[in-house]
């Protein structure tokens, strides 16, 4: 019998709708690669369903030593002077291992209890994941695309009564490598810096935000494209010396090639800079740098490089190789003369 494919849900929309209607699932799983969003919507959900200071009706378990039997016992106990009992479980690792007995018990927890999982690592083949998907809500919170991220940045600035230049928005994204927690910190810094003005400029961002890493990665990509291997490796080691994590450097390399690929496809369709900017979600002024870099590659070459990067990412995460060495060998390979 064929397995029905699970359609990804918009986690933010689902939780907002449940809160609006005051109608909640018995189990929630919040997972994905964007820790900031997971934490934000975890807290938003908990605020709506319980008082986290009520130790009689709220319990929290953190880490891989979560006592699943205690969780079940807590859920099966009737709430004391409250509408429901709520359990928060974070970083348990339960969605990576076999826990069929716990999954079966969760199916039968009473309507007076809600279990909220917040996890960064899951296996969708896991019995517990399938249980949550069938009787509750399994909600993915991945990093938004650049266009959505830009809208979010503007909303954060607007919330304090300010405006921000488009160029400043995308410089913040580049400075923080589209990591929402880092972006939030950079927004707060630049808002404080421009406290006496209504408009945040690109100059403000350059003055207070850390933009060195993104700039060095772009220079490194330029060296790779021009087959300047010595310069590319030198810039890579500068990034490492500045305590830039190797995996973040790999993320930035993949992101850069992905933007080049989208630009290349837009050019093939005859789109101008403004149209290309709309497609790839960047301001028109920044299209030129992607247009210049993608000229060194064919579409097929970029696709092969992205596949190569994804393979290295997989090998690193599965322990087949170490990140610093693997990424250096990647840069050596990409920058060698044809």
pLDDT tens, 8-51? 678 889 999 999 999 999 999 999 888 889 999 999 999 999 99
Res. 214 pLDDT band, cuts 50 70 90: low
The residues pairing with 86 across neighbouring beta strands, listed in sequence order, are 58, 114
Dihedral sign, Cα of residue 311, residue 333, residue 221, residue 291 = negative
Res. 1 pLDDT band, cuts 50 70 90: very low
Question: Residue written as tokens 């690193």?
Answer: 316
Question: Distance between CA atoms of 27 and 319, rounded to whole angstroms?
Answer: 33
Is residue 4 scored above 50 in pLDDT? no
3 state DSSP class of 232: helix
- In this structure, are residues 128 and 99 in contact, taking their beta carbons and an 8 Å threshold? yes
- DSSP H/E element including 137: strand 137-140
What is the model's pLDDT at position 212?
A: 57
What is the model's pLDDT at position 33?
A: 81
3 state DSSP class of 223: helix
* Residue ranges of domains in the chain, CATH in brackets: 11-140 (3.40.50.300), 146-208 (1.10.8.60), 212-335 (1.20.272.10)
pLDDT tens, 94-130? 888 878 889 899 988 999 999 999 998 888 888 899 9
pLDDT tens, 294-325? 999 999 999 999 999 999 999 998 899 999 99
- In this structure, are residues 150 and 283 in contact, taking their beta carbons and an 8 Å threshold? no
Alpha helices (H) in the chain, listed in sequence order: 11-21, 35-49, 68-76, 100-106, 127-135, 146-158, 166-175, 180-193, 202-208, 212-225, 229-241, 246-268, 273-280, 287-294, 299-317, 323-335
């Amino acid at each position: 019998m064929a397995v029905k494919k699970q359609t990804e849900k918009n986690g933010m929309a689902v939780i907002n709708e449940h809160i609006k209607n005051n109608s909640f699932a018995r189990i929630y799983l919040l997972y994905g690669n964007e820790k900031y969003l997971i934490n934000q919507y975890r807290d938003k959900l908990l605020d709506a369903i319980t008082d986290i200071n009520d130790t009689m009706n709220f319990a929290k378990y953190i880490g891989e030593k979560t006592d699943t039997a205690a969780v079940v016992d807590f859920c099966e106990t009737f709430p004391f002077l409250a509408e429901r009992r709520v359990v928060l479980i974070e970083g348990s690792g339960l969605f990576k291992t076999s826990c069929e007995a716990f999954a079966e018990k969760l199916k039968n927890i009473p309507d007076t209890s809600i279990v909220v999982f917040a996890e960064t690592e899951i296996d969708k083949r896991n019995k517990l994941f399938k249980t949550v998907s069938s009787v509750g809500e399994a909600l993915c919170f991945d990093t938004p695309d650049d266009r959505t991220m830009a809208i979010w940045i503007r909303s954060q600035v607007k919330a304090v009564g300010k405006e921000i230049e488009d160029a400043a928005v995308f410089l913040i994204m580049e400075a923080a490598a589209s990591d929402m927690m880092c972006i939030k910190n950079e927004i707060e810094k630049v808002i404080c810096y421009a406290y006496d003005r209504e408009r945040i400029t690109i100059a403000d961002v350059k003055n207070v935000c850390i933009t060195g890493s993104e700039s060095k990665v772009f220079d490194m990509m330029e060296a790779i494209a021009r087959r300047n291997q010595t310069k590319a490796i030198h810039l890579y080691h500068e990034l490492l010396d500045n305590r830039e994590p190797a995996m973040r450097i790999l993320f930035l390399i993949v992101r850069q090639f992905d933007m080049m690929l989208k630009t290349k496809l837009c050019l093939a369709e005859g789109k101008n800079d403004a149209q290309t900017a709309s497609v790839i979600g960047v301001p028109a002024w920044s299209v030129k740098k992607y247009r210049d870099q993608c000229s060194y590659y064919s579409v097929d070459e970029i696709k092969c490089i992205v596949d190569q990067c994804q393979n290295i990412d997989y090998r690193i995460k599965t322990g087949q190789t170490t990140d610093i060495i693997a990424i250096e060998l990647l840069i050596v390979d990409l920058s060698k003369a044809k």
